[in-house]
């Protein structure tokens, strides 16, 4: 791994100088210096300018831009520029265009119009990487390499004949022979048995439901094909350069089809893009989930926020501007949760193109604006907290997340379309957020031993080893919660027999004989006063104690919430979709039982997260409420907006970062013990 950290928290943006006359570049650097920017991502969409015709490279403008940035003391995260092929590629090689499941071609004119399995695209893109890396490997401005951009954002699934051939190759590697594939895909069903590899195709638009395992394998293949591009570009960069290599992931914004837990091994720093959903009244909660998941993908190490927005985006139906102070709260909340860099899309708002109404650090109205003033303030803030760089976030709780479980859970022909994978993830994480407790969102294969509480929402598909690890965790004294539609299938999407939730039946001490999904809008009551919707199931306790049962609905008297003592720990099960208040109560009970707790108790809406390095620790307090908050914290406040004299006072909408005075040392590796 190449080291990527600088002296403090990186601060910057995507910078697209090619959209502007060179006279503007001078002002750009001057304003960057004023704002404290020290890292910009350059060249992301520059292929068509850098290589105007096959094999003919024009680097002059990029040379001048990098020289200017370097003279201004600004580091460059240089793109390989392969994110979007130039029009000449599709013109000369129409076979590089991607096809949808129904056969429709995705034409050039937007971006990312290439088939991820195209050998022509691979060859041309690597030739570009080679040329860029050769030219700039020793340029003093370059501090990092940025492979492509959001790989698979628009072209993750291609169903063309080239992709079909690549899919067959991937399946041969996975299964070896057709008998194994036929077993895994369950092709005895519906006359689907394959006798020749040439008969196997991607799950193109079919008369009815395509084979679920065929679909699942195609999703795995598609993620792997995108990852292969990352690895191929990385191999070129590793050969020619020495700076750290990354690419921007899209964790936490609903992007489903890229298995980032497996990709993390291919980058020197996990970098993420996160955008708020304007329609979400509490977007800071989803932001926290995205950051906690990014940290989980990074194995707990610091990561880089490669993109977010200073204000509105342009690609949602209604693009809501950020309120004063929101930019700062958002950025510092990411840092609180482990980011050691805060970058945005983009430096200067474009005049032309599909993103001209996307916010930037320098808006159309120029630097005399609320946005640019807030940018400058944030730049100063990040300098003031440079010392937190390299520290790690304390978390007592793990939430298990597996992209394959997501893909499997949301395949078609299931008991209810209302069961979605991220629903319980967001509900449980939201309850923890309201309780002020930090969680790592991690892959089920992660070592769980240091966590006090583990939550497994909708872990529909689970491998034997991961189910066994959760059991071992509970036996050793851990507390776990599993929610409905978990443990149902193995990695081939074959049902685990003998009663649901197959893989977790013994751990949970229950056996479900039949699912009873609810009708749209139907609600049931539980005998503890909770309500629930979407899902019920006919569950029999087999060793578990019943904590709540249905009071009405299709299964009156049947258990809905159970708890099973296993070894030194306990495994809880929620067999229905509890309302938010009941979810909060359930999480409060789990916290009490497990001993997981917030770093400092604070009112709901005040985000408190601790970062720690060696024997030093910092407390981040983000006050999302309208009221002043007082917390029993002493130390040195680094941002200067809050007082910390005999307790910390944080005004409404403000952020505080406190270097804690009482030195704490890790006791069990996570929970602080005060000395
Ligand atoms: C990202 C992308 C950027 C820009 C941004 C707008 O998905 O990487 O290039 O399009 O969104 O929000």
Q: pLDDT tens digits for 575-629?
A: 999 999 999 999 999 999 999 999 999 999 999 999 999 999 999 999 999 999 9
Supply the residue whose CA is at minimum distance from atom 12 of ligand 1: 313
- Best mutation site among 18, 147, 307, 315 for ligand 1 pocket (most ligand atoms within 8 Å of CB): 307
Render 118-174 in DSSP notation, one character per residue: -HHHHHHHHHHHHHHHHHHTT-TTEEEEE-SSSTTTTTS---SHHHHHHHHHHHHHH
How far is ligand 1, taken at its centre, from the CA of residue 345, in Å? 6
> Does pTM surpass 0.85?
yes
**Pocket flag, ligand 1, residue 660 (CB < 6 Å):** no
**Pocket flag, ligand 1, residue 313 (CB < 6 Å):** yes
Pairing of strands 569-574, 479-483: parallel
Q: pLDDT tens digits for 471-494?
A: 999 999 999 999 999 999 999 999
Q: What is the dihedral of CA 333, 336, 337, 340, to 10 degrees?
A: 100
Decide if 133 contacts 144 (C-beta within 8 A). Answer: no
Which pLDDT score is estimated for 669?
A: 36
Q: pLDDT tens digits for 323-339?
A: 999 999 999 999 999 99
Which pLDDT score is estimated for 665?
A: 42
Q: Can you tell me the distance from the alpha carbon of 622 to that of 643, in angstroms, rounded to the nearest whole number?
A: 14
Structural domain boundaries in the chain: 10-156+226-389, 397-594, 606-674
**Pocket flag, ligand 1, residue 146 (CB < 6 Å):** no
Helix (H, G, I), strand (E, B) or coil at 286: helix
Q: Name the helix (H) or strand (E) containing 577.
A: strand 577-578
Residue 55 exposed, middle or buried by CB count within 10 Å (0-12, 13-18, 19+) = exposed
Helix (H, G, I), strand (E, B) or coil at 311: coil
Q: Is the pLDDT of residue 162 over 80?
A: yes
The ligand 1 atom nearest the CA atom of 248: 8
Q: Residue 655's beta-bridge partner residues?
A: 622
- Best mutation site among 304, 322, 355, 357 for ligand 1 pocket (most ligand atoms within 8 Å of CB): 355
The ligand 1 atom nearest the CA atom of 45: 9
Q: Can you tell me the distance from the alpha carbon of 13 to that of 41, in angstroms, rounded to the nearest whole number?
A: 6
**Pocket flag, ligand 1, residue 273 (CB < 6 Å):** yes
How far is ligand 1, taken at its centre, from the CA of residue 277, in Å? 14
Taking residue 458's Cβ as centre, other Cβ atoms within 10 Å add up to 26
Give the start-end residues of each E strand in 461-533: 479-483, 510-515, 523-525, 531-533
Binding positions for Zn(2+) are 115, 158, 160
Taking residue 37's Cβ as centre, other Cβ atoms within 10 Å add up to 29
Supply the residue whose CA is at minimum distance from atom 4 of ligand 1: 345
Catalytic residues: 150, 307
Q: Can you tell me the distance from the alpha carbon of 437 to that of 588, in angstroms, rounded to the nearest whole number?
A: 10
Which pLDDT score is estimated for 673?
A: 29
Topology classification of domain 606-674: Immunoglobulin-like (2.60.40)
CA 656 to chain centre: 25
For helices 178-185 and 212-240, what crossing angle results, to 10°? 120
Pairing of strands 248-249, 271-273: parallel
Which pLDDT score is estimated for 667?
A: 38
Architecture of domain 397-594: 3-Layer(aba) Sandwich (3.40)
How far is ligand 1, taken at its centre, from the CA of residue 446, in Å? 31
Supply the residue whose CA is at minimum distance from atom 11 of ligand 1: 345
**Pocket flag, ligand 1, residue 149 (CB < 6 Å):** yes
Decide if 443 contacts 385 (C-beta within 8 A). Answer: no
Which spans in 512-634 are helix H? 580-594
**Pocket flag, ligand 1, residue 150 (CB < 6 Å):** yes
**Pocket flag, ligand 1, residue 307 (CB < 6 Å):** yes
How far is ligand 1, taken at its centre, from the CA of residue 123, in Å? 25
Average pLDDT, stretch 45-70? 98
Q: Is the pLDDT of residue 447 over 50?
A: yes
How far is ligand 1, taken at its centre, from the CA of residue 538, in Å? 46
Q: pLDDT tens digits for 620-650?
A: 999 999 999 999 999 999 998 777 767 999 9
Residue 668 exposed, middle or buried by CB count within 10 Å (0-12, 13-18, 19+) = exposed
* Helix, strand, coil share of the chain (percent; to 5): 35, 20, 45
The ligand 1 atom nearest the CA atom of 313: 12
How far is ligand 1, taken at its centre, from the CA of residue 129, in Å? 21
Binding positions for substrate are 111, 149, 315
The ligand 1 atom nearest the CA atom of 275: 12
Binding positions are 111, 115, 149, 158, 160, 315
- The sign one gets for the Cα dihedral 72, 78, 79, 81 is positive
Supply the residue whose CA is at minimum distance from atom 7 of ligand 1: 150
How far is ligand 1, taken at its centre, from the CA of residue 318, in Å? 17
Q: Can you tell me the distance from the alpha carbon of 571 to that of 550, in angstroms, rounded to the nearest whole number?
A: 20
The ligand 1 atom nearest the CA atom of 315: 12
Query: How would you label 463-477 residue by residue, b for 16+ Cβ within 10 Å and e otherwise?
Result: beebbebbbbbbeee
Supply the residue whose CA is at minimum distance from atom 3 of ligand 1: 345
Q: Can you tell me the distance from the alpha carbon of 643 to that of 662, in angstroms, rounded to the nearest whole number?
A: 17
How far is ligand 1, taken at its centre, from the CA of residue 505, in Å? 43
- Best mutation site among 345, 355, 361 for ligand 1 pocket (most ligand atoms within 8 Å of CB): 345
**Pocket flag, ligand 1, residue 306 (CB < 6 Å):** no
Q: pLDDT tens digits for 81-106?
A: 999 999 999 999 999 999 999 999 99
Decide if 76 contacts 43 (C-beta within 8 A). Answer: no
Give the start-end residues of each E strand in 184-224: none
- Best mutation site among 251, 273, 319 for ligand 1 pocket (most ligand atoms within 8 Å of CB): 273
How far is ligand 1, taken at its centre, from the CA of residue 484, in Å? 35
Render 16-63 in DSSP notation, one character per residue: -GGGS-HHHHHHHHHHHHHHT--EEEE-TT-HHHH-SBTTB---HHHH
- The 8 Å CB, 24+ separation contacts for 60-68 are 61/17, 61/18, 61/22, 62/136, 64/22, 64/25, 65/17, 65/25, 66/42, 66/136, 66/139, 66/141, 66/142, 67/141, 68/25, 68/26, 68/29
Q: pLDDT tens digits for 234-252?
A: 999 999 999 999 999 999 9
Average pLDDT, stretch 286-290? 98
Task: Calculate the alpha carbon distances from 246 to 31, 296, 386 in Å.
Answer: 26, 17, 22
Which pLDDT score is estimated for 675?
A: 25
**Pocket flag, ligand 1, residue 389 (CB < 6 Å):** no
Q: Is the pLDDT of residue 354 over 90?
A: yes
**Pocket flag, ligand 1, residue 345 (CB < 6 Å):** yes
Q: Can you tell me the distance from the alpha carbon of 146 to that of 268, in angstroms, rounded to the nearest whole number?
A: 11
**Pocket flag, ligand 1, residue 38 (CB < 6 Å):** no
Average pLDDT, stretch 163-185? 98
Which pLDDT score is estimated for 662?
A: 62
How far is ligand 1, taken at its centre, from the CA of residue 275, in Å? 9
CATH of domain 10-156+226-389: 3.20.20.80
Average pLDDT, stretch 248-274? 97
**Pocket flag, ligand 1, residue 158 (CB < 6 Å):** no
């Amino acid at each position: 791994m190449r080291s990527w950290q600088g002296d403090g928290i990186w601060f910057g943006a995507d910078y697209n100088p090619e959209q502007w006359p060179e006279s503007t570049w001078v002002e750009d650097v001057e304003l960057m210096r004023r704002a404290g920017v020290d890292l910009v991502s350059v060249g992301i969409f520059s292929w068509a300018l850098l290589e105007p015709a096959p094999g003919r490279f024009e680097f002059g403008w990029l040379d001048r831009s990098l020289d200017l940035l370097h003279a201004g003391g600004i580091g460059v995260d240089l793109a390989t520029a392969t994110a979007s092929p130039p029009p000449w590629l599709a013109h000369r090689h129409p076979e590089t265009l991607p096809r949808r499941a129904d056969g429709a071609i995705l034409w050039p004119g937007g971006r990312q119009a290439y088939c991820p399995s195209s050998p022509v695209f691979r060859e041309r893109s690597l030739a570009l990487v080679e040329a860029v890396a050769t030219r700039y490997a020793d340029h003093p401005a370059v501090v990092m390499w940025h492979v492509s951009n959001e790989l698979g954002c628009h072209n993750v699934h291609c169903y063309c004949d080239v992709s079909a051939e690549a899919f067959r190759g991937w399946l041969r590697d996975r299964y070896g022979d057709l008998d194994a594939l036929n077993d895994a895909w369950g092709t005895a069903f519906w006359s689907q048995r394959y006798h020749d590899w040439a008969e196997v195709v991607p799950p193109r638009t079919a008369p009815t439901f395509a084979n679920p395992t065929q679909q699942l394998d195609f999703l795995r293949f598609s993620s792997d094909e995108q990852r292969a591009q990352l690895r191929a570009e990385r191999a070129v960069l590793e050969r020619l350069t020495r700076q750290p290599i990354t690419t921007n992931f899209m964790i936490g914004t609903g992007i489903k089809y890229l298995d980032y837990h497996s990709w993390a091994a291919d980058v020197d720093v996990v970098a993420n893009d996160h955008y708020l959903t304007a329609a979400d009244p509490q977007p800071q909660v989803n932001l926290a989930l995205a950051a906690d998941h990014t940290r989980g993908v990074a194995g707990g190490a610091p990561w880089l926020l490669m993109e977010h927005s200073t204000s509105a985006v342009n690609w949602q139906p209604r693009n809501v501007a950020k309120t004063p102070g929101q930019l700062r709260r958002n950025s510092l909340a990411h840092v609180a949760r482990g980011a050691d860099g805060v970058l945005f899309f983009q430096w200067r708002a474009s005049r032309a193109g599909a993103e001209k109404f996307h916010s930037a650090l320098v808006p159309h109205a120029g630097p005399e604006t609320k946005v640019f003033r807030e940018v400058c303030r944030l730049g100063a803030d990040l300098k003031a907290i440079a010392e937190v760089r390299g520290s790690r976030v304390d978390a007592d709780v793990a939430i298990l997340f597996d992209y394959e479980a997501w893909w499997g859970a949301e395949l078609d022909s299931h008991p209810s379309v209302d069961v979605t994978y991220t629903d319980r993830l967001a509900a449980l994480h939201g309850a923890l957020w309201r309780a002020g407790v930090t969680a790592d969102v991690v892959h089920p294969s992660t070592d769980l031993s240091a966590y006090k509480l583990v939550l497994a929402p909708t872990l529909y598909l689970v491998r034997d080893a991961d189910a066994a690890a959760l059991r071992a965790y509970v036996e050793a004294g851990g507390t776990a919660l599993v929610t409905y539609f978990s443990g149902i299938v193995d990695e081939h999407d074959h049902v685990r027999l003998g009663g649901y939730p197959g893989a977790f039946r013994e751990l949970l001490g229950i056996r479900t004989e039949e699912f009873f999904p609810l009708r749209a809008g139907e609600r049931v009551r539980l005998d503890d006063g909770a309500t629930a919707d979407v899902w019920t199931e006919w569950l029999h306790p087999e060793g578990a104690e019943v904590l709540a049962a249905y009071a009405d609905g299709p299964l009156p008297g049947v258990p809905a919430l159970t708890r099973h003592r296993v070894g030194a720990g306990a495994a809880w099960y929620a067999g229905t979709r509890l309302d938010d208040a009941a979810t909060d109560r359930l999480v409060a009970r789990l916290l009490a039982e497990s001993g997981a707790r917030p770093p400092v108790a604070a009112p709901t809406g005040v985000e408190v997260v601790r970062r720690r390095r060696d024997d030093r620790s910092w407390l981040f307090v983000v006050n999302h409420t309208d009221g002043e908050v007082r917390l029993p914290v002493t130390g040195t406040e680094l941002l200067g907006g809050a007082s910390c004299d005999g307790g910390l006072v944080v005004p409404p909408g403000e952020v505080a970062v406190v270097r804690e005075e009482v030195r704490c040392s890790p006791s069990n590796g996570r929970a602080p013990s005060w000395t």
